[in-house]
Amino acid sequence: MLDSAIQQVLKPVLSRMARGLVRAGIGADALTFIGFAIGMAAAVSIALQQFTAGLVLLLLSRLMDGLDGAVARLTQPTDRGGFLDITLDFLFYAAIPLAFAVADPAQNALPAAVLLASFIGTASSFLAFAIVAAQRGITSTALPDKSFYFLGGLTEATETIAAFVA
């Protein structure tokens, strides 16, 4: 719901940063892997109840997630890059609630399980729609820079990250 508005605010900043990364020879896939590794470090920090470190790493991971797409658009977006991006994003999104469950199972296991179940439903419908849209040649005019077309929703990346931070 908020992603389009947030992307409009962040796009100039990310584009400027991406130009510097392209000049330095850093590719989109490298940023995807770096962002994922930082995201997994965030999950480990959260599991170890190092919540401030987890927050900083989580936000840095999401910055890398924004930069990988910006770099891809300045160079050559690939199907491989789109696949890596969405796959590692979903693994990251699952790791954070799991980390909270590990940090305090008595308090957090049930809410984490509910959140993970909702992510499975969301991911399934998200990817199923993307497949149908690709088969039917449906594209997005609102988000033409994305690897594949998907429907926006009530909770997108911005809302998910805000919930993780809270």
Per-residue model confidence as pLDDT tens digits over 65-86: 999 999 999 998 888 998 899 8
Q: What pLDDT band is residue 109 in, cutting at 50, 70 and 90?
A: very high
Record: fold of 3-165: Four Helix Bundle (Hemerythrin (Met), subunit A) (1.20.120)
Residue 113 has pLDDT above 80, yes or no: yes
Q: What confidence score (pLDDT) does residue 118 get?
A: 84
Q: What pLDDT band is residue 48 in, cutting at 50, 70 and 90?
A: very high
Average pLDDT, the chain: 85
- CA gyration radius, the chain: 16
Residue extents of the structural domains in the chain: 3-165
Residue of 72, 64, 79 whose CA lies nearest to 22 = 72
